[in-house]
């Protein structure tokens, strides 16, 4: 079975965003970032209040630390978006955009792109994630085949792709 689709910068951006925000490692990194900065802010507030030894300055320092801590998640998310934009704009990736063909067979997943031709055994497929108008076929390596609803053409409906891939994986995984 052969699935055909195009991958562009926006599709890659969706994959990076999914990987960095929804994967367990990405969520852990975000919580560690926010927690670390909160600890730093409150530590500085404690030092300031101990140094000046007046309650108005102590309350003000802790109030400021609280307000700044509330924006920690937002700051992290903005940093991630900036990183994603930089990665997607990398000129070395330009050759990998365009028509992609994903062939499902007994041997595994074979993805032919403008830059590569790779065959991945079914054991290397970790899961299939549907997010809005994209399907990500995640691999053990951390990479994924990115199938966009807008450009998809194939013998099965877009919404049936995860089920079909799971059937192939169940049938042919070693």
- 108-147 pLDDT, tens digit per residue, is 999 999 988 999 999 999 989 998 899 999 999 888 999 9
Q: Is residue 92 pLDDT above 90, yes or no? A: no
Q: What percent of the chain has pLDDT over 70?
A: 99
What fold is seen in the domain 2-8+96-172? Answer: PH-domain like (2.30.29)
Domain with CATH 2.30.29.30 in the chain: 2-8+96-172
- Which tokens sit at 52? 């000046």
């Amino acid at each position: 079975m052969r699935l055909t689709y195009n991958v562009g910068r926006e599709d890659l951006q969706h994959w990076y965003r999914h990987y960095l925000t929804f994967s367990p490692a990405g969520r852990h990194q975000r919580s560690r970032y926010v927690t670390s900065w909160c600890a730093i802010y409150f530590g500085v507030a404690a030092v300031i209040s101990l140094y000046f030894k007046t309650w108005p300055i102590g309350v003000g320092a802790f109030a400021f630390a609280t307000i700044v801590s509330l924006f920690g998640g937002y700051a992290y998310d903005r940093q991630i978006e900036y990183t994603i934009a930089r990665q997607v704009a990398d000129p070395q990736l330009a050759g990998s955009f365009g028509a992609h063909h994903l062939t499902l067979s007994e041997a595994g997943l074979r993805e032919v792109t403008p830059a590569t031709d790779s065959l991945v055994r079914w054991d290397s497929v970790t899961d299939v994630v549907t997010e809005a108008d994209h399907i990500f076929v995640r691999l053990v390596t951390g990479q994924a085949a990115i199938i966009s609803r807008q450009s998809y053409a194939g013998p099965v409906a877009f919404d049936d792709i995860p089920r079909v891939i799971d059937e192939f994986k169940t049938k042919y995984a070693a």
